[in-house]
Amino acid sequence: MAMLIDMMILLLLVGTLAYAFLVDRRVRALMVAMRALEPVVDQFSLAVDRTETSVRHLRATAKREDEPPLTRASAATAPRTGGAGEQPSPPAQPTGAAPAQLPPGMARVTGKADLVRSFFDTVKGREA
């Protein structure tokens, strides 16, 4: 009976070692894939930052001080011109409105490129 229990323990240990070996191989493959994706993620992060800057610039240049702010009520009654190449402007937020609340557990990130770089630095630090 003791021999049977020893054999079962030995088989479970061998199974555990085999599973650990498979997990290690998969984690190494994942790390290689992450290193290959690092430049793409950096480029995407920079593109997002440029897009945000462009949108802010377009919104700043689109605002004219001589025009009253557009509200939903006036947007529904305003005549539509429908000219070629004319883009509809986004509805203006009322002045003094509080920014949208983020769901619990989420935070607004301003430096996305720094966040991405710190993620890859952390991963590299864990490998060593």
pLDDT digits (tens, 9 = 90+) for 11-33: 999 999 999 999 999 999 999 99
Query: Which residue reads 């997990």 in tokens?
Result: 23
Residue 65 lies in a domain: no
CB 47 within 8 A of CB 118: no
Q: How many domains does the chain have?
A: 1
Residue 15 lies in a domain: yes
- Give residue 7's pLDDT: 96
- For 108, residues 6+ apart whose C-beta sits below 8 A from its C-beta are 102
Residue 21 lies in a domain: yes
pTM over cut 0.75: no
- Give residue 118's pLDDT: 73
Section 89-115 average pLDDT: 61
The answer to whether residue 82 scores a pLDDT higher than 80 is no
Tell me if residue 25 falls in helix, strand or coil. helix
88, burial (CB in 10 Å: exposed 0-12, middle 13-18, buried 19+): exposed
Tell me if residue 15 falls in helix, strand or coil. helix
Residue 118 lies in a domain: no
